[in-house]
């Protein structure tokens, strides 16, 4: 058994207890899966999924690469009701980002 940011897993990597600490109670099983392996599932209304989707957007990549937030990216944050910190945290925990 080992601890991850999203909860306890057994030796095979299977979740024992799901705990979406990065997004409080606003994350789901798709969020968990996305931390473990490249995963394309998203749930509408899940803040964790919204943050992960935003972190995979060209708006986030453009702002990350330039080091400055622009109007389009801020609009995306407003549309999803997210903070830049939430999107950045989602990007850091997303296995898809680590596989690229």
Q: Specify the 3-state DSSP secondary structure of 20.
A: coil
Partners of 2 in beta bridges: 9
pLDDT in tens, 50-60: 999 999 999 99
**Domain locations in the chain?**
2-99
DSSP 71: H
pTM: 0.73
Sign for the CA dihedral angle at 31, 10, 98, 90 comes to: positive
Residues of the chain with pLDDT under 50: 1-6, 15-21
């Amino acid at each position: 058994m080992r601890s991850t940011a999203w909860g306890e897993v057994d030796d095979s990597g299977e979740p024992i207890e799901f705990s979406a600490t990065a997004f409080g109670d606003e994350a789901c099983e798709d969020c968990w899966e996305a931390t473990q392996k490249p995963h394309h599932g998203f749930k509408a209304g899940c803040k964790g999924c919204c943050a992960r989707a935003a972190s995979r957007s060209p708006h986030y990549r453009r702002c990350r690469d330039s080091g400055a937030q622009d109007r389009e990216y801020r609009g995306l944050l407003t549309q999803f009701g997210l903070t830049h910190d939430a999107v950045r945290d989602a990007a850091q925990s997303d296995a898809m980002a680590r596989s690229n």
